[in-house]
Structure 1
Amino acid sequence: MRAWLDDEPLLLGPPAQRAVLGLLVLAGGQPVGLATLVDALWGDRPPASAVNVIQTHVKRLRRLLEPGRTPHSRSEVLPYLGDSYRLGVPADQIDIMRFRRLVRHAADGGGVAVLTEALALWQGRPFADLPLLAEHPRVLSIMAEHRAALGRYGAAMLAAGAVDRAISAFEEVAVADPLDEMGQARLVRAYAAAGLRAQACTTYHAVRRRLADELGVAPGPELTAAYQEILDDDSRAHVLTGPPIAVVRTVPAELLADVPVFIGRAYELGELDRLTIAPEQDTIVIVVVSGTAGVGKTALATRWAHRARDRFPDGQLYIDLRGYDQEQPVSPDAALARFLRSLGLPGEQVPGDVEERAARYRSLLDGRRMLILLDNAASVDQIRPLLPGSAGSVVLVTSRDSLPGLIVRHGARRLDLDVLRREDALALLRRLVGEWATAEIGAAEALATQCARLPLAVRIAAELVHRRAPAALAEVVGELADHRRRLNLLSTGDSHSTIGVVFSWSYRDLPPGAARMFRLLGLHPGTDVDGFGAAALLGGEEATARECLELLAGRHQVQRIGDRYGMHDLLRAYAKDLAVRNGEVDLPRRVLEFYLHTAATAMDVLYPAERDRRPRVPRPAGALPTLHDVGTSLAWLDAERANLVATAVHAAEHGHAWYPVRLALVLLRYLESGGHYADAVALHEHALRAAESVPDHRSAAQLRINLGVVAVQQGRYAEAGAELRRALELAYEVGDDFARMRALGNLGHVYQWQGRYRKAARMLAEAIALARDTGAKGTEARGLGNLGHVRLRQGRYADAAEDLRAAIAICRDIGDAVGEAYALVYLGHVESALGRYDEAGEYHEHALILFRGATEPAGEAYALDGLGGVDLSRGEHEQALDRLSEALELFRRIRERAGEARVANSLGEVAAAMGRPAEARGHHLAALRLAAEIGNRYEQSRAQAGMEPLGEVEGRLASSAVATSVTSSGETPTMLDDPMSESML
């Protein structure tokens, strides 16, 4: 499901949203009722919010399709009609409508050219990305329309003598509907017309068996007649040609010797057992084992062939086609000549013409059960003449290319071979190295990782260990630490077993664009890229970059996972070495600019109210992804997080201080709200070192504040306080009022968590005053929200409510939904403290909606905790447990320990109210231990209050924790509800 606006591809959002648009497309301009949409998306089990969800999807689709529409004006593209929606897009702008118009025109005399134009619009199964619509009647209907058009096209091509095109069309119809006898009969006749008698017969018998097994019927007259025509032609041909030439029947046994040390691959061997069994008696079996250089394709195929040789009593043929060798690849005619001699044909009788050789080869294989192992194939053209024409034999192909043409045209099955599992790589190393690998398990694991768990590399490394004997494994690991030196060390002197040389055979045959892409991927410090990241590397169009990536993936020089592409460490080292030799010594600046700008765009979508707090970055040249809503923006950041951190570390180490500094200032809110603390710390520490090296004290102050924020989220309050006090000093030194506000506000936040409420209030009041003087509305609102929270803790409910309402008003004015939501949560706790539970519930519900819309998991969890407290007050214990369990899961997912301690206490209170004292003790004790560990004195005190009825040992633990809290802070924590405030000021 794809759409464009002014030739720009649109990111259409999550599957359900794309399905809504798909259903409207299928309606062909007719209105689609809400009930129909609900039924299509959820069937007979729609959620209570189904209509609201659909309305949200439509709202987002309108923003995508009509970006210039003024708010509240009528939508022209997706108007609402009664209880229905309609897609108001002209028919010539929708592929399926254009397809139908062209097919009608072709039927009315437009000719084959028009039909060809119609079929060119087809790009695979409709809505293949939307399983929701897979069996929708209208989807099935347009698939039937496509098959009918293909049938007409094939008939026209057959009549015109273009047999190959006819076969392609009929094969596509036959695969799409295996029980369509008319379509299968056309295919049988087309094969016969092309001289592919064996394939025609095989097709007929396969359909005959399928009809019997699935429908319990015999072939109808059309299919039977097509088969009879083949038999009649064979009888006439035999009369004309006479008896066949006599051949001495031989049983070749040409397999290579089995691999002496073969470890693992149990799953893959089982898959080969399964894939090489014909599902039907008349089926030709072809299996392609594909994978990157050195992954062990030949070893696997050889091991399986020796295990399965009893299945092939008529012999086993083997040939190394040398498709990626430095020597000349073996041509099909040379391979056929060798196979014909192996099958008993005298050398003088081997035909000179390649087509005649292929025909004689198929004749000699007819009726025989043989294994044909075609090793190191480079292309389908190299293989096709070597395929048998009748069932009984199995063809096993190994290749670095995935050979899609063999799969599409000849029904081959694929087994993609990955690197060894960690356990198998270590086992292979132990077998090859011996006691050293067992004695030094850490070094053995490191060595297997350095070899990217490629069997060939592991074997070479083992030999290197033996050459260094009696040196320890650790010494070899140290030698291989340098990526470029590693390639030289993993050498045996034999071109067929030296990693760099083996890789070079694949690289040598790449087109220039793909070769350059391969080299530049070696310079990228991250783990993988998408099409846009690759385009930034290449400095070209996204479509061009994807073409290069697809070509590399097809040849297993990169690994495709979804829409992303990466490579293992050895290939990356080889690619980087090539890049350096080619003069491409550093990551292009355009890549850093691409990541920085796209990250800033995503943050503007996620947190628009904070746009002025982040540095502005220029738009780079080149293709950029369309990040139009919260979902696509968050998905991009999640997918690219590792790359963003890796490129920042790389830039900091290579003197590009501007990049890590700006990126850290851009990304803080995403990293801390999502619980990505390790990434946040790594990014900010490198950015801080880069800023101090310039020196840039203003940025250093902001970065220290950010580090303090992350430390607070992790419950490291002492560390947070130290960072924030140093940031405050820097802010005073350089006269940065914004940094002063943030440092003061977040110091107040730390003191609040430590139970030092009076000091927290003073810091926050100073931050608020400075924000008012400088007109920083957002900072003022967050400060008021946090001050209201402190006053809530102090039991000053009227003052707290006043501050919180003021914060909410500012947040609504500047569009800060997250800040508003946190203030609403605090206000909900004020209402709960005053016994006004209905009002409290409304505030928490409103906050929950805002948090979910902004994808703020921490806030969502705090709102759920607040609702759980309201449920407890109303005696709705089961509902309280459901909400609190969901909140606990969220806190654990983002690793927010203060929130986890809070919910544990809440669960303890609910368990106690339900008469489950043992369960309540368990929850409070867990909260107490966690809160004591991170220094959260409020939750310690709350846990102690819940554990007062406990036994002597647990009671002493609780009392000790609270005593420590009071002694350290100088202020006794007030027992009130408190969500963690939104920390960013």
Structure 2
Amino acid sequence: MVTGGDEGIFQRVGPVPAVWTADPPVPGYTDRTEQLAELRQFADQVRAAPAVVAVHARPGMGKTAFLRQAAAVLRDRFDICLQVDFAAWHRDGRVDMDGVLGGMLEALYVAQQWIPADPAGRHRRYLSLLEGQRVLVLLDNVTEPAQVEYLIPNSAHALVLVASHVRLHDLVATHRAELRHLTGLSTRHGVELLEVIGVGERVKAEPGETERLVEICGGSPHGLQIAAGRLRFQPWLSVAELVAELESEVVSNAGDPARTEGRHEMTKGLDSAYRALDADAASLCRRLAVLPGREFPERIIAAAAGIPVRVARPRIGVLVAMDLLEQVDGGFRMPDLVRMYAAGAAAAEDDPEELDRCRARVVRAWCAEAMAADRAVLLDRYRVPDSFEPVAESETAGLGKKAALRWFGRWHGSLLDVLRHAEAQQLDTEAWQLFEAMWPFYSTHSYLQAWLEAGALAVTCAHRAGAVAAEARVRCLRSRASMNQGDFAAAATDLDEARRLAETVDDGRRLLASVCDFSGQLAYRQQDFERALADFAQALAISEDLGDERGTGLQAQFCGRSLGRLGRYGEALTALDRAKLLLERAGDTRALSRTAFSRGEVLLAASREAEAVTSLHEAVEIANGLEASELVVKPLELLTELARRNGDQAAERGYLTAVVELHLAGGSPDAARYQARLQELSEED
């Protein structure tokens, strides 16, 4: 066939000879089996137009290797395969598309003298040669949709497979492209890759640390190859030591030149993605990399940039589109490799003082969110007066009680990191206020080690700031964790000092009542019920004098419990009935659950078992409604004991199953004891 016009010199006398320019597959290629199988099915479909599949991934995730593997998998479906790496055709900030087309025509056996000089002529020649052919086009490092559109063959049997670090959504509208996201290797396949590339024995010896290495690298084949290189050429370096180095680089730019160079090798593949960002998105990327915490809600990200949320959203969208941020439940996470890279960029490009101001803004924003969530759980409880104004309207302010507690659970890891950072940077007021705001969560969940650590940081900061009332308060809050751990001596030390401090505070009656409350709790746990009653009675008198209805209800409950232990059952039930009435008015459902439990204990001691069971079930029901697992355990344990005492094995088994689940979830050592009893019941059946 001879074409007319200025293409008369181009003559086709038959089909284009078989051409296959794809690089061979990477040796030892692992994973991606599901994506490759899906691609084969897609290639087999009958269609009326060429097909386009755009694969998006962060640099270093193996896009190029995926294209090579795909070409091998699809080898029997196509006669022609043309591969182009656009990174090789960048000239002065743009892609030389004339050169790209010229190279593709050469690959199709068009002699140099017959390649048209003008772009339009080259494009027409390209389309005419591939018309109707079974052709696979592999386009790597694409940066914009137009590059793809220019190279789509004129054949319904064609498949264009695109790899890019940007999301090419426009191709969906213009060519009905299929979009695919290539994530990092799974832990198993990441370990397999390390074994394949020569460090198999090393990683098998340290399986747990190897899994962490894959996690730090985000499953990036490039990052894992660099890590394997470190292990091969530094045989004295253990996987655990390499992991420790990399973990320090995630949060710090400090280190010797060799470690800095190693970090650069692992992250340099991100250069192209970072350079593609506009100034605002790049600035936000750098700031997120130096923040405390690993995951961030949208409002915290906005605080990092010092801008409103509505302004931050498009910038966040850019980072997500470039795979530099990952969407997680309720917020965003920066992958560790990206964090390393962006932290290095921040050290090189940003004013250290501005980064410090950024971190301080973020600490205050977290504190504002936590304080609002604390108030959402319970508005009317004693708190040390606030010392700073929230930096932004809180998104947690409108939450209900259960949602607010879930918020604390969701962000607990980040909040603890923020508290550590606040103490290190001497943001003392924010540190103790953040710990105080976390009290509703810690008091209803079994995070004892984190609770003690956070309390220690808060006490240090309050003391350093000379905040006497705050120090007394956070010592009280820490003492509860010590009590829960069974360390009564540490709790007593905190409470003795808290009482001494409270007595020096002007108008500190509410604070003193709180200290008496905690002291009574300690005496009660030590089974010194006379002393506990005296402490609770003192707190009750102060609360009544202040007109504090909720405080009065709480102390009436504690007095009732102590009276019950002293065998004064009538007085105890009167006090607990009063507590229930006052706490219902105050809307304190957590305290109502405890009151129902206390009433069940007293009724049981008074040999009123049926009423006791009813009250214990009420305590469980209220606590379940709050999703407060710690409040559920004790009434369930008591119900279990009652069922066992009465020989009701079916009821005992049901209660035991729930108790075991709760203890296991909280990491309690008591889980084994209850599991053993559950096993006994199974053997008796």
Same fold (TM over 0.5): yes
Q: Post-superposition shift, 1:879?
A: 6.3
- Which residue among 130, 139, 153 is the counterpart of 1:374? 139
Alignment of 1:562-601 (within 5 A): 562-580=329-347, 581-583=349-351, 584-586=354-356, 587-601=358-372
State the 1:522 CA deviation: 1.0
Equivalent residues of 1:323, 1:376 under 8 A apart = no
For residue 919 of structure 1, the aligned residue among 669, 681, 684 is 681
Match of 1:778 among 550, 557, 561: 550
Q: How many Å apart are 1:733 and its aligned residue?
A: 6.0
**What residue in structure 1 maps to residue 524 of structure 2?**
752
- 8 Å contact 2:89–2:95 — kept in the other structure? no
Equivalent residues in 2 for 1:421-500, closer than 5 Å: 421-430=186-195, 431-433=197-199, 451-465=217-231, 468=234, 481-482=248-249, 483-484=252-253, 489=258, 498-500=265-267
Instruction: Determine helix, strand or coil for the equivalent of 1:711.
Output: helix
* CA distance 1:848–1:445, shift in 2 (3 Å): closer
Amino acid aligned to 1:616: D
Distance 1:600 1:376 in 2: 46
1:592 Cα deviation (Å)?
2.1
Match of 1:527 in 2: 294
How far does the alpha carbon of each residue in 1:278-311 deviate from its partner, in whole angstroms, 9 at most, with x for none? 3445564433322111122112321332343233
Q: 2 CA distance for matches of 1:843 and 1:547?
A: 53
After superposition, residues 188-199 of structure 1 pair within 5 angstroms as none
Which residue type is aligned with residue 159 of structure 2? V
Match of 1:819 in 2: 591
Displacement of 1:535: 1.3
| Residue 551 in structure 1 maps to residue 321 in structure 2 | no
Q: 2:540 aligns with which of 727, 750, 768?
A: 768
Alpha-carbon distance change, 674 to 474 in structure 1, aligned in 2, over 3 angstroms: closer
**2:74 counterpart (308, 329, 332):** 308
Query: Displacement of 1:658 after TM fit?
Result: 1.2
Q: How big is the shift at 1:424?
A: 3.7
**1:793 has 2:560 as partner:** no
Is the aligned partner of 1:687 residue 2:458? yes
How much has 1:856 moved relative to structure 2?
Answer: 3.2
Among 606, 609, 613, which residue is 2:380 paired with?
609
Q: Does residue 503 of the first structure (1) align with residue 274 of the second (2)?
A: no
Unmatched tracts of structure 1, length 5 or more: 1-236, 912-916, 924-985
Q: What is the alpha-carbon distance in structure 1 between the residues aligned to residue 330 and residue 120 of structure 2?
A: 41
Is the Cα contact below 8 Å between 1:600 and 1:617 reproduced in 2?
no
Secondary structure at 1:397 match in 2:
strand
Which is worse superposed, 702-711 or 413-422? 413-422
- What is the TM-score when the length of structure 2 is the normalising length? 0.84
> How has the CA–CA distance of structure 1 residues 489 and 803 changed in structure 2, closer, same or farther, with 3 Å as cutoff?
same
The whole-number CA distance in structure 2 between the counterparts of 1:678 and 1:657 is 21
C-alpha offsets along residues 767-809 of structure 1, whole Å, 9 cap, x if unaligned?
Answer: 4344445555433332321232233334331121022122223
Q: What is the distance in 2 between the residues matched to 1:321 and 1:242?
A: 31
Instruction: Assess if the C-alpha contact under 8 Å between 1:526 and 1:647 holds in 2.
Output: yes
**How many residues matched?**
670
* 1:730-786 superposed Cα distances (whole Å, 9 cap, x missing partner): 445667544443343333323433444344334333443444455554333323212
5+ residue gaps, structure 2, are none
Instruction: Confirm or deny that 1:258 pairs with 2:25.
Output: yes
Q: Highest CA radius of gyration, 1 or 2? A: 1
Q: In structure 2, the residue corresponding to 1:419 is in which secondary structure?
A: coil
1:559 deviates by: 1.5
How far 1:844 moved relative to its partner?
4.8
Cα distance in 1 for partners of 2:604, 2:67 equals 70
Deviation at 1:536, TM superposition (A): 1.2
Q: Which amino acid aligns with 1:625?
A: E
Distance verdict in 2 for CA 1:324–1:341, change over 3 Å: closer
Indicate the structure whose relative CO is greater, using CA pairs within 8 Å and at least 6 residues apart: 2
Contact 1:606–1:854 (8 Å) recurs in 2: no
Q: Distance in 1 between matches of 2:276 and 2:256?
A: 20
What pairs with 1:706-745 in structure 2 (closer than 5 Å)? Answer: 706-717=477-488, 719-732=490-503, 736-745=508-517
Q: How far 1:673 moved relative to its partner?
A: 0.8
> Could you tell me how far apart the structure 1 residues matched to 2:388 and 2:366 are?
11
Once the two structures are TM-superposed, the CA of residue 416 in structure 1 deviates from its matched residue by 2.1
Partner SS state of residue 418, structure 1:
coil
Q: CA offset at residue 810 of structure 1?
A: 2.8
Measure the CA separation in 1 of the matches of 2:22 and 2:528: 79
Asked if structure 2 preserves the Cα contact closer than 8 Å seen for 1:324 and 1:378, the reply is: no
Pick the aligned partner of 1:246 from 12, 33, 37.
12
After the TM superposition, which residues 823-834 of structure 1 pair with which residues of structure 2 at under 5 Å, given as runs? 823-834=595-606
Q: Deviations over 1:371-406 (max 9, x none)?
A: 211111112122112223433232221111132222
> Secondary structure in 2 aligned to 1:609?
coil
Residue 446 of structure 2 corresponds to 675
Give 1:882 shift: 4.5
1:419: which partner in 2? Answer: 184
Q: With structure 1 as the length reference, what TM-score do the two structures score?
A: 0.60
Whichever residue aligns with residue 258 of structure 1, its letter is P
Distance apart, 1:701 and its partner CA: 2.5
Deviation at 1:572, TM superposition (A): 1.0
Which secondary structure does the structure 1 equivalent of 2:20 belong to? coil
For residues 616 and 770 of structure 1, the distance between their equivalents in structure 2, rounded to whole angstroms, comes to 22
Q: Does 1:400 align with 2:168?
A: no
Residues 438 and 577 of structure 1: is their aligned pair in 2 closer, same or farther, counting only changes over 3 Å? same
State the 1:417 CA deviation. Answer: 2.2
Query: Residues 709 and 492 from structure 1, CA distance in 2 versus in 1: closer, same or farther, beyond 3 angstroms?
Result: closer
* 1:531–1:543 contact (8 Å) kept in structure 2: no
Determine what percentage of the aligned residue pairs are the same residue.
24
Secondary structure of the 2:53 match is strand
